[in-house]
Structure formats: structure tokens, C-alpha cells
């Protein structure tokens, strides 16, 4: 078609970083898992590392990949044995000798003395394969087939020696001509000259380019400069040295003796020795002296064995990268191309996804570094977790027998009949009529046609004004004594605090919430401190001190309705004495009980609404809390640890919405 330009496209595997067609990483799952570990006592940095190690739903973690790397390493060692080249040479030698003997029997024209001498020579060959091959180096073969078979030994040796240093050379030189061998000899000479020139600092980029233009076909790695060329050659050469060191002393001696027969040219080994020496000087950091223990049955030739040693070195490097145990390690260090070679594309995708998760978590705003350089859960992460935990608490509440649906209108009081524009933080119900009228007027004012449909804007929304509810000052006291951690109640306690904190901060913005921990001593905590609080190993349940701080908090907010929520799993065993020190005693002393009861009475005189949450089945604690609740007309709730969050949120809402019983009023949870 005239003027038509046809574009051409080529397709291949994407190699530009994370797969653009891959599904986005699930940060919600990662954050939930990290937060759970943080609440169990891990630092956020440790928690993120643990998540990456474990992996997620349908995703392998670092430990899975590391385990597969180690299994791959074991398989290579248990499958193979060294000496495959020696086995092949022995087979060729035996075949050549057999054919020669047949020819000696068939040749009726041969002089009998000559025949006897040749037969005696065949019979008395050394038991050593290498010695026998060398013994026959000058033998005048009578069988053409035997001669060709013997020449294959020299050809095989030459190709294997080259394959040790240049992967794929064994196959490339099969059925090679004299011209091919001469080209290899010239390549080795030019390569050695280039490396020695580089070692002296006299080479130029043009030298490398000239060399690659002439001999580039021998280097499938396609190095882009002389250093990349040296790296590839040194890794292969060092693997060849490790393979030789992994052989038995007898095998090494056999190969050394045979090496002079490679291509029938001792000059080849001289060139290779020169190459090895140059590479070892240029890359002394490679492992030139290591060895491995092979225990399998499948024989490896020199070239293939060197490749396996390279694989083992690559697997060791991957194991270190996946361990992430060195300073400054990140998952971007993992060589995904090496991982794909060793374990397949699926493993590479898993590693790339984990690296993307690590990067996304650090860039998402969920984790941030404090002034001390340590990672911390950010306020955004705390809000996200609080929302998730509150939703979980709501689900548990709605599942209780007789519970009502949790997702209601969101009213905060009785309607007054007035409306106003919505403001951030408002939880009053929308006035749908006024909102739609505003939207229609706005669309018309902007030149649109409301009949064609309208799209609501936040500026359109009006809410119904309601009578103000009494604001509350809420003190949540949580037991942090040793038994809370020992009995598996530590994380449920933190999840409860997060859920209640999110509820108050998002749905009851006028309320005030104070979190107070009490172990040997009591302390006011912000939500971030409590979430990251490590399990306490000290003895003591100082409810007296906790109630003292709650009383002080209530008095700081005299116009608010005080609400006291206490989570504990033990009777009080400590109280403050005159010098501000904690007095501890087990079993509880009467003085501790009197001090605790006296402080509770002060809370009661402030008009606080009190609920105790009893964890565990201790009869003494049950009697004590029932007595305490009776003094202030409070309640005792005995939830399972898994239901603690729902129980505390439900009690808070019962206080905020009197008359709703154990259900939870007009709250929109989303």
C-alpha cells in the first residue's frame, strides 16, 4: 500500500527488572505478618526479614529457596563422580588394542617374527591407562580402524583440556580439522599475549576489540571489556583447578601423564599452563585451591566436571546471597539469572517478587527509619493495622449469638433537623436529598447537563447535624506481667489495644484514650510503644500503680465521662509504697490488696464506668475481680484470648451507647 509504513517487532523473555505483567505484591499480607511478629517482640527490621524468609501465600520464601539450593548442591555431589574422561580413554584404548589383535590374526602375509613381537607388545602393555597410551605413542598400527580409535584418544584429550577452560569447546571441536586446531592454538597465543599485556597495564580498549573481532566466537559469554573476559575465564579456570584437586591422587597423575598426548601436541598444554598462570595472577581472589567430594556413579569428563564445579561455586554464592547474613545485605543482591539457571524460572520469579516486596515495604510508608537508624512501624502502618484489627473485632462481635449487624448508619446522636457541609472526621449520616441537590447545581454551574448523569464530589456532601454525645476519657489498663507472655496472651493484648486505639481515633475523635501498662510498675504508653513492647520478664502485677495513673488521667479531663477498662490475668502482687518503690509479694499481701482497693474507690468516686477482663481460670482472680467490680458497680468479662479485642471494643461501645446491651451501636466500620 503506498505510503504505508510497516513496523517490525521481536519478542523475547523480559529482562528489564520486575516483570511488568506480574501481579502487584501483596503489601497487606506482608504488613499483617510483620506486625504480628512485632507484637510478639521482634523489631520491625527483624520482622520483615522473618517474613521474607518464610514467604507468603503461594510464594516461596528465602528459606525455601535456600533449601532448594542446598538440595541441588547435594544432588550434584551424589549423582556424579570424577574420572569420566579417564573411563572414556580406557574404553578407546581397549577398543584400539582389540582391533589391532584382530588385524594381527587376520594378516597372513605378515612376518611371523614381526607378528609375535607386536602381539607380545599388546600383551605386555602397562596396567596404567596413561602409561599404555604413552607406550603406544610411536606404535605403527597395522589396523586402520585401531589407528583411528587411538587418534580419538588424542582428540578427546585435547577437546576436554580446552573444554575445561572454554565451555562448549568439546562439542565445537568434534571432528575438527588441522586448520581448526591451528586456529585454537593461535587464539590461545593471542589471548595469553592480551592478558600479559593487561597485567603490565599496557593494553588498550582497541586491543580487546581486535581480539574479540578475531576470536569472539570462542566466547559465548560475550564479554564487553577485558575485565569481563578475565572474570569469565578465571571462574572457569579456578573451577578446573578445584576439579583436579577433587580427584584422587592416582587420577591426577594419570591425567598429567596423558596431557602431553592432547591433540598430539605438547604445545597445547604449555599454552594452557601459561593461561592458568596469568589468570591466577589477575584474579587471586578466586578459589584456586578448594575441592569437593563426589559420591555418585555418573562419570564426568574434564569439561563437564569443570562445569559442575562452577555450578557448585554458583550455588555457594546463591546460598550466601539468600542468607542475607552479611552487613548491608538486601534482596537486590540475589543474582536471579544464576537462580534461574540452577533452580528454574519459578525460583527466579519468587526471588524477584521477594525483592520487590522488600523494596515496596520500605517505599510504601509502612516502615520508616528513626533517628537511631532502626526501622519502625510508621503511623500509617499503625492506622492500617488498627483498621484491620477493628474489622476483625467487629466480625467476632457480629458473630456472637444475639449480636446485631455492625455496619449501621454511623449516627453519633439524635438528629436536630439541620444539615451542614461534610468535614473530615465527620461520622454523621448523609442528607441524601441535600447532597444530590448540591451535585445537580454544581454540574449545571460548570456547564454540564445533569440529565446526562452526575458524579458526586466531596464538595456536594451534606450531613445531618446531631446532638452532641458526652465525650469520654478512656483508660485501657493492660497487664504486662510475666504470665501474660508465658500463657500466650501478649499478642492478643496488643491487638486489643490497637483495635480500640483505631476505633477511638477514627470514630470518636472527641474522646481521649490513655494506654497504661502495669507489671512491677505501671507506665503510660503511646500506641507505637505498646505495639513494639517486648515481653516483660519481671514479676509483679501492680494494678495499684495502674489505677493511680488512670485516676490522674481522669482528673486531667474533668468534663469527660471516665471509662476504665482493665485487662489482667492475675491478682495484684505489687503496690507502690511511700518512697515510690514497688513492693512485691507472692501470694498477695493484705496491704497490696488494701492499696489497690483504695485506688479503685477513688476511680469510682469520679463516676467511672468500669469493666474488668479476666484472662485465665484462676479462682482467686475470679473472686477478687468480682469483688472489685461489685464495689464500683462494674462488670467482669471472661473472654478467650482470641476474643479479647472484640470483648474490649464491645464494652467500650456499650459505655458509649448506653442501652444497647452487649451490641455495638451505630458504627460504620469501613
User: What's residue 116's pLDDT?
Assistant: 93
Q: What is the mean pLDDT of residues 610-628?
A: 91
pLDDT higher than threshold 60 for residue 263: yes
Mean pLDDT, the chain, rounded, equals: 84
pLDDT higher than threshold 90 for residue 375: no
- From CA 565, how far away is CA 648, in angstroms rounded? 7
Q: If you average pLDDT over each of 59-68, 174-183, 196-205, 391-400, which comes out highest?
A: 196-205
DSSP conformation class of 430 = B
Higher pLDDT, 523 or 488: 523
Rg of the chain (C-alpha set)? 41
| DSSP bridge partners of 563 | 474, 609
Q: What is the mean pLDDT of residues 649-669?
A: 60
Higher pLDDT, 511 or 426: 511
Asked whether the beta carbons of 472 and 562 are under 8 A apart, the reply is yes
pLDDT higher than threshold 50 for residue 663: no
User: 10 Å Cβ neighbour count for 186?
Assistant: 12
pLDDT tier at 397, thresholds 50, 70, 90: low
Residue 473 in 3-state DSSP? strand
Among residues 308, 259, 273, 241, the alpha carbon closest in space to that of 160 is found at: 259
Q: If you average pLDDT over each of 139-153, 176-190, 255-269, 390-404, which comes out highest?
A: 139-153
Asked whether the beta carbons of 505 and 467 are under 8 A apart, the reply is no
Phi, psi of 650 (to 5 degrees): -60, -40
**Lowest mean pLDDT, pick from 151-155, 246-250, 289-293, 415-419:** 415-419
**What is this structure's pTM?**
0.64
**Lowest mean pLDDT, pick from 62-71, 190-199, 429-438:** 429-438
Strands 561-568, 609-614: pairing is parallel
User: What's residue 330's pLDDT?
Assistant: 84
Which pairs count as long-range contacts for 165-172, CB under 8 Å and 24+ apart, including other chains?
Answer: 165/233, 165/236, 165/237, 165/240, 165/272, 165/275, 165/276, 166/218, 166/219, 166/236, 167/220, 167/236, 167/303, 167/306, 167/307, 168/220, 169/218, 169/303, 170/301, 170/303, 172/218
Take residue 434 and report the three cell numbers written for it. Answer: 441535600
Asked whether the beta carbons of 665 and 406 are under 8 A apart, the reply is no
User: What's residue 405's pLDDT?
Assistant: 35
pLDDT higher than threshold 90 for residue 488: no
- From CA 546, how far away is CA 535, in angstroms rounded? 18
Higher pLDDT, 105 or 645: 105
Higher pLDDT, 391 or 407: 391
pLDDT higher than threshold 60 for residue 588: yes
User: What's residue 25's pLDDT?
Assistant: 67
pLDDT tens sequence across 312-328: 999 999 999 999 888 87
pLDDT higher than threshold 50 for residue 2: no
Among residues 654, 618, 615, 657, the alpha carbon closest in space to that of 636 is found at: 615
pLDDT higher than threshold 70 for residue 578: yes
- From CA 36, how far away is CA 38, in angstroms rounded? 5
User: What's residue 523's pLDDT?
Assistant: 94
Q: What is the mean pLDDT of residues 497-508?
A: 85
pLDDT tens sequence across 112-159: 999 999 999 999 999 999 999 999 989 999 999 999 999 999 889 988
User: What's residue 382's pLDDT?
Assistant: 77
Which pairs count as long-range contacts for 24-27, CB under 8 Å and 24+ apart, including other chains?
Answer: 25/353, 25/356, 25/357, 25/360, 26/56, 26/57, 27/357, 27/360, 27/361, 27/364, 27/366
pLDDT tens sequence across 59-87: 789 999 999 999 999 999 999 999 899 99
Range list of β-strands (E), 324-414: 367-369, 375-377
pLDDT tens sequence across 39-61: 776 777 777 888 888 887 777 89
Number of residues in the chain:
670
Phi, psi of 633 (to 5 degrees): 55, 40
Amino acid at each position: 500500500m503506498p505510503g504505508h509504513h510497516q513496523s517490525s517487532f521481536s519478542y523475547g523473555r523480559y529482562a528489564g527488572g520486575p516483570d511488568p505483567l506480574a501481579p502487584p505484591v501483596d503489601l497487606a499480607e506482608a504488613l499483617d505478618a510483620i506486625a504480628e511478629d512485632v507484637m510478639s517482640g521482634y523489631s520491625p527490621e527483624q520482622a520483615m526479614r522473618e517474613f521474607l524468609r518464610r514467604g507468603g501465600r503461594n510464594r516461596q520464601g528465602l528459606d525455601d529457596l535456600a533449601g532448594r539450593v542446598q538440595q541441588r548442591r547435594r544432588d550434584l555431589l551424589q549423582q556424579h563422580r570424577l574420572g569420566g574422561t579417564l573411563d572414556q580413554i580406557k574404553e578407546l584404548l581397549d577398543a584400539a588394542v582389540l582391533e589391532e589383535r584382530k588385524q594381527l590374526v587376520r594378516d597372513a602375509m605378515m612376518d611371523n617374527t614381526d607378528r609375535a613381537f607386536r602381539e607380545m607388545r599388546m600383551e605386555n602393555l602397562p596396567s596404567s591407562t596413561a602409561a599404555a597410551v604413552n607406550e603406544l605413542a610411536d606404535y605403527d598400527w597395522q589396523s586402520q580402524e585401531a589407528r583411528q580409535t587411538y587418534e580419538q584418544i588424542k582428540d578427546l584429550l585435547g577437546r576436554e583440556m580446552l573444554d575445561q577452560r572454554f565451555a562448549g569447546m568439546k562439542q565445537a571441536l568434534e571432528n575438527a580439522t588441522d586448520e581448526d586446531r591451528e586456529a585454537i592454538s593461535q587464539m590461545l597465543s593471542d589471548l595469553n599475549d592480551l592478558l600479559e599485556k593487561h597485567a603490565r597495564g599496557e593494553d588498550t580498549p582497541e586491543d580487546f576489540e581486535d581480539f574479540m573481532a578475531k576470536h569472539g566466537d570462542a566466547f559465548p559469554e560475550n564479554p564487553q571489556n577485558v575485565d569481563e573476559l578475565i572474570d569469565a575465564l578465571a571462574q572457569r579456570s579456578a573451577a578446573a583447578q578445584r576439579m583436579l584437586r577433587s580427584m584422587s591422587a592416582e587420577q591426577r597423575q594419570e591425567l598429567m601423564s596423558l596431557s602431553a598426548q592432547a591433540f598430539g601436541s605438547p604445545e597445547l598444554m604449555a599454552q594452557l599452563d601459561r593461561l592458568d598462570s596469568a589468570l591466577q595472577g589477575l584474579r587471586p581472589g578466586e578459589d584456586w585451591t578448594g575441592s569437593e567430594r563426589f559420591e555418585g556413579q555418573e562419570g564426568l569428563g574434564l569439561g563437564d566436571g569443570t562445569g559442575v564445579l562452577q555450578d557448585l561455586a554458583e550455588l555457594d554464592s546463591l546460598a550466601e546471597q539468600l542468607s542475607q547474613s552479611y552487613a548491608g545485605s538486601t534482596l537486590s543482591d540475589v543474582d536471579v539469572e544464576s537462580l534461574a539457571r540452577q533452580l528454574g524460572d519459578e525460583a527466579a520469579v519468587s526471588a524477584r517478587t521477594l525483592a520487590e516486596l522488600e523494596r515496596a515495604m520500605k517505599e510504601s510508608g509502612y516502615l520508616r527509619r528513626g533517628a537511631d537508624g532502626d526501622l519502625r512501624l510508621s503511623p500509617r502502618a499503625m492506622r492500617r493495622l488498627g483498621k484491620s484489627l477493628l474489622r476483625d473485632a467487629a466480625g467476632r462481635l457480629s458473630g456472637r449469638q444475639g449480636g446485631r449487624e455492625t455496619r449501621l448508619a454511623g449516627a453519633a446522636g439524635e438528629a436536630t433537623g439541620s444539615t451542614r457541609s461534610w468535614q473530615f472526621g465527620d461520622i454523621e449520616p448523609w442528607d441524601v436529598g441535600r447532597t444530590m441537590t448540591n451535585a445537580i447545581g454544581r454540574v449545571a454551574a460548570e456547564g454540564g447537563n445533569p440529565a446526562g448523569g452526575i458524579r458526586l464530589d466531596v464538595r456536594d456532601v451534606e450531613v445531618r447535624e446531631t446532638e452532641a454525645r458526652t465525650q469520654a476519657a478512656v483508660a485501657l489498663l493492660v497487664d504486662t506481667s510475666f504470665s501474660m507472655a508465658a500463657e500466650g496472651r501478649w499478642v492478643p493484648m496488643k491487638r486489643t489495644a490497637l483495635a480500640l486505639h483505631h476505633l477511638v481515633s477514627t470514630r470518636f475523635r472527641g474522646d481521649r484514650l490513655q494506654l497504661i501498662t502495669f507489671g512491677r510498675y505501671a507506665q503510660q504508653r503511646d500506641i507505637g510503644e505498646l505495639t513494639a513492647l517486648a515481653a516483660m520478664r519481671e514479676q509483679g502485677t501492680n494494678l495499684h500503680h495502674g489505677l493511680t495513673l488512670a485516676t490522674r488521667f481522669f482528673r486531667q479531663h474533668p468534663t469527660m465521662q471516665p471509662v476504665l477498662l482493665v485487662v489482667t490475668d492475675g491478682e495484684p502482687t505489687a503496690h507502690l509504697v511511700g518512697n515510690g518503690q514497688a513492693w512485691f509479694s507472692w501470694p498477695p499481701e493484705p496491704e497490696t490488696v488494701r492499696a489497690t482497693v483504695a485506688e479503685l474507690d477513688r476511680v469510682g468516686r469520679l463516676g467511672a464506668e468500669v469493666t474488668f477482663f479476666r484472662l485465665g481460670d484462676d479462682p482467686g482472680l475470679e473472686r477478687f475481680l468480682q469483688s472489685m467490680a461489685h464495689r464500683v458497680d462494674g462488670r467482669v468479662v471472661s473472654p478467650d484470648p482470641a476474643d479479647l479485642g472484640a470483648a474490649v471494643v464491645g464494652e467500650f461501645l456499650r459505655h458509649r451507647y448506653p442501652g444497647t446491651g452487649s451490641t455495638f451501636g451505630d458504627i460504620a466500620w469501613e
